[in-house]
Amino acid sequence: MNTYPSLHQAIGSRPGMLDDLVIDRAANGTAKVRAFFAAVKRNFSVVHKAISASDRTTLLAFYAANRTVAFYFTAEDDGVMRTVVFKRAPVIEPIGLYFNITNEMEEV
């Protein structure tokens, strides 16, 4: 399995959690909560700011090669390596000679 390129993850990166809870209500209004996952899963919006054209090429090549398969990703917020998949194509914002790129991923 491939590993996501180790480029700096900018302050705008946002880890999140996928919530699997479903609340049903009885006729008297009592709540019953069900969880569909054995454990909470995470999602990530990873921002790379002011990266070079070379790093942009690396990220886009990684996306092209792994867009439908799982890969390893380590978030800078906790340093834990997780197995994730891409949620959508990278968002690329040209900034002069550099680029801001945002990748959305979800834990498998």
Residue pLDDT, tens place only, 7-20: 999 987 888 888 78
Residue pLDDT, tens place only, 33-77: 888 888 889 999 999 999 999 999 999 999 999 999 999 999 998
Residue 58 in tokens: 């690396």
Task: Spell out the domain ranges in the chain.
Answer: 14-107
3-state secondary structure 22-87: EEEECCCCCEEEEECCCCCEEEEEEEEEEECHHHHHHHHHHHHHHCCCCEEEECCCCCCEEEEEEC
Global confidence as pTM: 0.83
